[in-house]
Amino acid sequence: MSVGTRLRAALRIPPYKFQVRNVRHIEAAGGRGMILDEPGMGKTLCAAGWMAIHPEARPGLIICPAPIKEQWRRALRDLAGIRAQVLSGRAPRPIRAPVAIINYEVLHSWREALRAWGPRVVVIDEMHRIKSRRAKCTRAAGHVCGRAPHVIALSGTPIDNCPAEFFPTLKIVRPDLFQTWFEFAQRYCDPKRGWGGRFDYSGASNLGELRRRIAPFAIRNRKRDVLRELPAKQRIVVPVEIDNRRSYEHARDDFLAWTEEFEGRAAAMRAAGAVALTRMSRLLRLCAAGKLPAARAWMEDWLEESPGKLVVFAIHREVLDRLKEWFPDAAEVRGGVTGRRRQREVDRFCSSKRCRIMLANIRAGGVGLDGLQRVSSTTLTLELAWNEAAHRQAEDRVNRPGQRLPCDNYYLLGRDTIEEWLLGVLERKQVAVDEILEGREAAMSAASLLEMFSAAQKAGEL
């Protein structure tokens, strides 16, 4: 049976042709290879697909940045039906799932426990995180992978500056071909004797030869080369942990008790419609505050991995203010930024190489922003509006007829929070939510929304 046939049978979402080629390439390399596709092209699906057609390659380990651990867990579950356990903290604990997911920051503390656990396949996501040969996480990754028969490395930007950064991952993935740093550096890093007699290895040499050496186990696709296979735009949900879980659960439990108290009493529900929306807004604001650290980490990772520009949508002033503190070069389109100043911010985002982020209120920036699609094909939504149309309008700021590249629209949602439920409601019940916003049958709409919330809680969806 061909790799493509096995892959389509194992995955719950049909892979694109280039993704089948990626998995076939890794298979031909014996499960030790690299997928170096540009960001947003489904490298996660490829790795999950290889694991799905090789159930004997267990236990499995995923090493990735902290903000996307939960995204990996869900991807394995939803794409391939693979159960995974997210590891956290620096004190190793028993692993009770066939696949474990760990972030770089704590890998060093788990290295001995993971090596003893004996993973048969290790997936190194965002492999450029281990570009420094002396870093603790690089040494830990090499230690954990030392006995694994299969290693798959993923990155959209495997080399930031020079071939020297490529060596640590090459040695981990193919130690038979890349054995010593000295040999690699002499051949591919154009060494020059510098001040004090030390050699500088920040150069590059014999790149054509290096390209030929990695070709049998490394594959790279660019979006422009596979445009016909990709959708015009896609939504990518990224679940993250919130750092105020206790406060959120307290507010949530109060809200559920309040809902239970009025359940079945339509008159009281209609009278309390405004209170219901206030309580739901409170939960959403807590989610927004709780995931800000994860949002910052995700944005920093994206800026490091992608050469493009990012449009970030939020709702509340405090969220946009905090992001502006962290990313001071970002352009802004929000309340109070009007007229000529608004256009100057748009022009700066479109023309300045230093300005790579646009911070926009989802309502102020969802309309009237022309020209962004010339410089950006990616959005990040941090807060949900109360109607689906607002999100479609926001997404369309970087998606217009004749767009050169497909558009990736990321939604950062708090794990196990009202946000996950609400996004489903927005997509399934747009008319009902619009009624609340526009005032038509508002009380009945509030009751309907509360009923859906209560039903979801009872079904274990919240």
Give the pLDDT of the chain (462 residues) as one tens digit per residue: 899 999 999 999 999 999 999 999 999 999 999 999 988 889 999 999 999 999 999 999 999 998 889 999 999 999 999 999 999 999 999 999 999 999 999 999 999 999 999 999 999 999 989 988 989 999 999 999 999 999 999 998 887 778 999 999 999 999 999 999 999 999 999 888 877 668 888 899 999 999 999 999 999 998 888 888 888 788 889 999 999 999 898 888 876 565 555 544 444 444 455 566 677 788 899 999 999 999 999 999 899 888 889 999 999 999 999 999 999 999 998 877 766 888 888 889 989 999 999 999 987 665 556 667 778 889 999 999 877 878 888 888 777 555 567 788 999 999 999 998 888 877 775 554 444 444 444 333 445 555 665 566 566 566
Same-domain status, 256 and 328: yes
Q: How far is CA 66 from CA 114, 298, 304, in A?
A: 17, 9, 15
Same-domain status, 220 and 243: no
* DSSP-H helix ranges across 122-180: 136-145, 167-173
Same-domain status, 277 and 330: yes
Identify the domain boundary among 177, 202, 229: 229
Identify the domain boundary among 178, 194, 229: 229
Same-domain status, 240 and 363: yes
Same-domain status, 264 and 378: yes
Same-domain status, 364 and 266: yes
The confidence score (pLDDT) of residue 441 equals 40
Whole-angstrom distance, CA of residue 170 vs CA of residue 92: 28
Same-domain status, 244 and 175: no
Same-domain status, 224 and 310: no
CATH number of the domain at 191, please: 3.40.50.10810
Residue in 396, 381, 169, 407 with CA at minimum distance from that of residue 284: 381
Tell me the two tokens of residue 131: 């570009």
Residue type, 299: M
Same-domain status, 251 and 218: no
The confidence score (pLDDT) of residue 374 equals 78
Number of compact structural domains in the chain: 2
Residue type, 243: D
Same-domain status, 213 and 311: no
Same-domain status, 205 and 294: no
Whole-angstrom distance, CA of residue 427 vs CA of residue 435: 15
CATH number of the domain at 264, please: 3.40.50.300
Same-domain status, 48 and 190: yes
Identify the domain boundary among 170, 203, 229: 229
Query: Which residues span the domain enclosing 437?
Result: 231-462
The confidence score (pLDDT) of residue 447 equals 53
